[in-house]
Structures are given as structure tokens and as C-alpha cells.
Amino acid sequence: MAILRLRLPFVLLLSCAIAPWAMPSTASATTYYVRTDGGTDEQCNGRADAAYPGSGNNVDCAWSHPNYALPTNDRPRIDGGDTLIIGPGEYMIGWESPGLSTKSTRCDRSSPYDCYPASPPSGTAQQRTRILGAGHDSGCKAPPKLWGTNRVDLVFNLQDADNVEVGCLEITDKSDCVEFHANDDVRCERDAPPFGQWASIGIGAKRSRNVWLHDLNIHGLSGRGVMAGGLRDWTIERVRIHANGWAGWDGDVGEGESSNDGDIVFRNVEIAWNGCAERWQTGEPYACWAQEEGGYGDGLGTGKTDGHWLVEDSRIHHNTSDGLDLLYTDESKTATVVVRRVYAAANAGNQVKTAGNALVENSVIVGQCAYFHKKYDMSDGDMCRAYGNALSIGVGPKQTATVRHNTITGEGDCLILTAGGNATSRVDIYNNALIGQKDVTASDGDMRSCAHYADDSTAVVSFAGNAFWNVKDDMCPPGNVCGREPKIASSDMATFDPAPLAGSPLIDHATQNTSVTSDFLRQSRPMGAAADIGAVEYQGGTAAAVPGAGAAPDASKAASSNASDGSAIDGTSSGAVTPTQSSGWMIGTIAVASLLTAGVAAALRKHRGRKVG
């Protein structure tokens, strides 16, 4: 459902970037360097990875700041197709930072919010413009830090630029504040200097094509980690978007300007703790808020959008509203959504929302919508928004959504909500483990979460090969496994682990044939006489480790993961690769924060009747 979002008063003058599959040519391209011991644009020409020697002009040495390469007069000193390597260390972005242009028409003392670098010049499909941290080719172990100050609107600017690569950077600020926060003690100073060392947005983009963002740690901004819309063919890999005060990724950049097109790919990303302020020195979240208090809080949300969306091998957790909100895909166009091998948990609204033609498979969806109760200053009124349904699926006429091989649990109203469509619309729900919990939004009657609720919808919903356990009214459609304890590693909300144990009725009982040949952990599927129900295929012996939602984040840790496998975006096939865990940060042993399982929202949410089944 639509939400109200407070628009931040900035002029989005951002830039854009790259096609990762287009290998760069070396013809006529120049590599430039920035290092903390470099010189000004007069002292150094930026063409050598060397310190300024202390004397001379136009010396072959590095510039001391990115502003010299991308000055605020919006006339870059690098050309399309060039590479800029930023050395280790910290670089302040905003008013009073080195290298601000004296000829800028947007940046001066009276408008410090506009003192962000120019967008990179466009490259070509054959030779992209590259802005990279040193070490990008050796694991990105110590990315340079770009940090915003003096209420600058953006730290990194991507607008009207195509074919650009941005990688191996940390993007943040050095303030604990949140812009427009309801708490006076948390709210950023915007009206009079000194404003403090805060920035509103990490990366901003508009009208941008063929961009590759990778190996980025975007955290602690007072507004959004990323605010980007009007995109075409963007790929985001190994990116962490953490603890940004308004939202993680906000795709609503203005009416008529926000729709995206082409392939929009998120792979091996972590989007977490957004809607919370961040203690910039420790990474601790605090002052979490959402819409009841005037905030926002989505992990990823968009305006009305087209495009082919793929989100895979990713963790989306502890955001203060919805986790992954792709409910606004344009049903009148060709938009598609594929959610594959995603772990979504402890978001305060819905965990995953899609619309239109969609596929959700091999994912673990844990609807811990009341996680924030009495934690991190969060208002109880902001928990279990939209009744806390774990998975929300919207369809239009002649559209099909498929939900297969997932493990879904939740303490909200229902595990799966379907909405919209008519008799020509289909929702196929196959081979899922649907495990109910105590419904914290219920005030009377059966206090368990329901397995499925059709919200003003006549779409045809089919169930086959699923397992139903502990759900409202003991829902049990024919052709499914019902009333048998699933015997997984842990059914408790605090330690939920969907791995089947020996003797589980999930093993070999997925009766609906699908093209899915691997599981959430990229293990081969099936391993026995038939595929298993749920996201994890039993391999025999000890159950594989499955991730839990992390405890309080550490801002010093950037996302890291293995390379992608190039799975098809259309969702027609999910062929197995060599079985391997998809990433260390995603599946490794993670301390699981204590999750509230009952008794929070009975007085906060009006109980309603449901059409179940």
C-alpha cells in the first residue's frame, strides 16, 4: 500500500555509470590517482600514483582529493572512459573540503548542501569510466572513506552519466544525527552553521544507464544510503547499505522521474538497520523510527517502476518498515521481479513485497515484525506495519506470481498475503514450508498467524507440495503435508533455522515438479528420491548452517562475498552450480539477536476478518 514520504529539500544533481559485462579498452584512456599526500590541481596532474614532492607545478603526482578530479563547477578533469583510483585514507566531502572550485555556481558558503563533487563523465559500453578505491583488484580490504559534512546533500554524485563503474569505497559521515528526526536530541542542525559533520545521502542518481556499483559500504547517513531513480540497467554487487536514518535504498526521486527500466540487479547485498541512527564511532544503531513518528524506514523501496528486478544471495533485515518493497512495479508495463536465495528477517513491516509477474524461490523469510519492541527507541506503533505479513504478493490481470521452495514463518497476521488481480491472474504456491507463530497482531480468536489471506482478490491461488504447520484454522489444502511438525533445526523466532533434521517430513516430499535444481545454500536439489519442501535441501548428516539475523551491526565491516553465478533474470531456470555456500557474511555463524515472539501488538492493531485459503 502507498505510504507518505517526507521529501528532503535537495536538488538531485547526480550521475551514473556502468555495464559490468562490457570489458574496458585501453585505447586513449588515462588513469588518474588521488592520495592523501598528493597535491592540488596546479601542483600535480594526477597521472602518477605518487606523493607531491614538495615543489613544482604540473608534476606527475596524485591529487590530494577527489574534488580535483570531479570539481564542484561540474567540469571534470577526467574524460569519459578514464579511471580514477582513490588511495587509502579519509576524504571529507562538502563545504570546507579541499579542492572546492572557486568558479562553482552551486557551491558556496550560503549553499553548503550543494558542495558535492561533479558526476563522473559518461563512458561508453566498450570503455566505461571507473571510480575505484585502491585495492579494488585485491579484495578491497581497506577501502578509502568518503565522508560528508556541513549538511551536504550527497557524498557521491551519479546523474546523467552512463557507463560508469564505482567500487571499493566506504561512504558515510561523522555524525550521529538524523535529518528531520522527531527527537530534538537526534535531529540534525539544518538552519544555521555550524551544521556539523553530517550528510543527507550517500549516493544519488537520476537518468542513469549501465552502472555497476560493487564492494561499497554505505552507512550512517542522516537520510538515505542511496536515492536513485530513472535508472536503466544497473547492477549492484557486494554492497552493504546499513543504518541510514531514513531508508536504505529509496527509489522515489520525484513524480514522473522515478520509473526504472532494463535489468536492475542486486546480488550479494546486505540492506539492514535502515530507519535507525548510527553512532558513527561504533556503528551501534539507536533512535530507530518509522512512519508513525514521521520517518520512513524501508530497506529498499521504489516509486512506480518498470524494469526486470533480480534480488539474489542477499540479506535484508532489521529495517524499521518493509524490508524489500517492490510492490510498486508498474502492472501496465513489462516489469518482473525475481527474489532468489534471499534471507529477509526482523523488518518491522513486511519482509518481502512484490507486484506483477514475480518469482520468489529458495528464500528464508522470517516475519519478526515485533523485533524492535522496547529496543532502540522504536515506537510500538511502528511495528508490524500492514499487519506484519511476511510475504506480500500483488498481481494484475493476466499476471502470474510463483512462490516456490521457500521457508516462511512469521508472527504477523499471515505468512502470505495476495492482493489484486482477477480470474485471469494466478499465484502458484509450491513446495514451501509454511510455519506459523503466535500472531502478535491478533486480539481474539485463533491467535496463530494464518498461512494465506486473499485481500480483495479473485486471483486463482494454487497450493501443491507445501507443508503447513501451526497456522490459523489449521489450513490444509489437498495435496499438501499438514499437521506434522517440520523438524527443522529451530522453529523458535529467536533462533529460527530452517535446515531439516533427519526424519523431517519435509525431506523428499516436494510433490510439485519445478526447474529448481539447487537450494538456498546452493546445495544440489534433489538429494533423495524427490526434492525437499522448503528453502534448504537435506544433505544427510549434520544440518548445514543457515544464517540468522545479525545483532547490532559493526560499521567497520563491509559486505564481502563470492562472485555471482550469472543466474537468469527471467527466473525460468535455477540450475545448480557447484554446490557452495553463497557468501561468508551471508551464511557464516552470526550471533542471533533475541526476537520478541508474542504479546506486543494486540492493542495496537485492529483485528479483522480474513478470507483464508
Dihedral, 539, 499, 353, 466 alpha carbons, nearest 10? 80
Q: Which residues pair with 452 in a beta bridge?
A: 416
Q: Identify whether the C-beta of residue 221 lies closer than 8 Å to the C-beta of residue 148.
A: yes
Contacts 24+ apart (CB under 8 A), 58-64: 62/32, 62/33, 62/34, 62/35, 62/37, 62/38, 62/87, 63/32, 63/33, 63/34, 63/35, 63/38, 63/39, 63/99, 64/34, 64/35, 64/36, 64/37, 64/38, 64/39, 64/40, 64/98, 64/99
Sequence spans of domains, the chain: 84-305, 328-551
CB 404 within 8 A of CB 365: no
CA neighbor of 367 nearest in space, from 242, 493, 500, 519: 493
CA gap 364, 493 in Å, rounded: 13
Please report, for residues 241, 298, 381, 560, the alpha-carbon distance to residue 288 in angstroms, rounded to integers and kept in the order given: 16, 12, 12, 26
For residue 138, give every residue at least 6 positions away whose Cβ sits within 8 Å of its Cβ, in sequence order, or none.
none
H helix or E strand, kind and range, residue 239? strand 224-242
Q: Read off the C-alpha cell for 14.
A: 547526480
DSSP string covering 489-553: EE-SGGG-EEEEPTT-TTTT---S--SB-B-TTS-BS--SSSPPSSSS---SSSPPP----BSS-
- Separation in Å, CA 402 to CA 339, 436, 502, 568: 10, 20, 28, 16
**Cα dihedral across residues 303, 325, 168, 20: positive or negative:** negative
pLDDT of residue 330: 87
Looking at residue 544, its pLDDT comes to 63
Q: What pLDDT does residue 547 have?
A: 66
Whether omega before 120 lies within 30 degrees of 0, making that bond cis, reads no
Cβ atoms of 414 and 453 closer than 8 Å:
yes
Evaluate the omega torsion of the peptide bond into residue 194 and state whether it is cis, within 30 degrees of 0.
yes
Q: How far apart are CA 599 and CA 438, in angstroms?
A: 9
Other C-beta atoms within 10 Å of 490: how many? 16
- Per-residue pLDDT at 545: 63
What are the grid coordinates assigned to 108, written together?
558556496
DSSP state of 585: H
**In the block, which residue shows the cell 536514518?**
245
- Tell whether the torsion through CA atoms of 518, 520, 523 and 529 is positive or negative: negative
**Bridge-based pairing state of the strands 391-394 and 414-419:** parallel
- Please name the residue that has the C-alpha cell 494484475: 396
List all residues 6 or more positions away from 55 whose beta carbon is below 8 Å from its beta carbon: none
The full DSSP string for 160-201 is S--SEEEEEEEEEES---BTT-SSTTTBPP-SSS---S-EEE
Shortest CA distance to 375 belongs to which of 511, 450, 273?
273
User: What secondary structure letter does DSSP report for 147?
Assistant: E
DSSP state of 131: E
pLDDT in tens, 390-419: 999 999 999 999 999 999 999 999 999 999
Backbone angles phi, psi at 415, to 5 degrees: -80, -40
CA atoms within 13 A on the CB side of 604: 21
Q: How far is CA 97 from CA 92, 101, 196, 389, in A?
A: 6, 10, 13, 46
Closest Cα to residue 564, out of 544, 537, 536, 583? 583
Beta strands at 270-272 and 308-317: parallel, antiparallel or unpaired? parallel
Q: What residue ranges of the chain have pLDDT lower than 50?
A: 1-26, 554-613
Task: Note the Cα 190 to chain centre separation in Å.
Answer: 28
Q: Enumerate helices (H) and strands (E) in the chain, giving the number of each.
A: 2, 34
CA distance 81 to 96: 29
Those residues with Cβ within 8 angstroms of residue 137's Cβ, 6 or more apart along the chain or in another chain: none
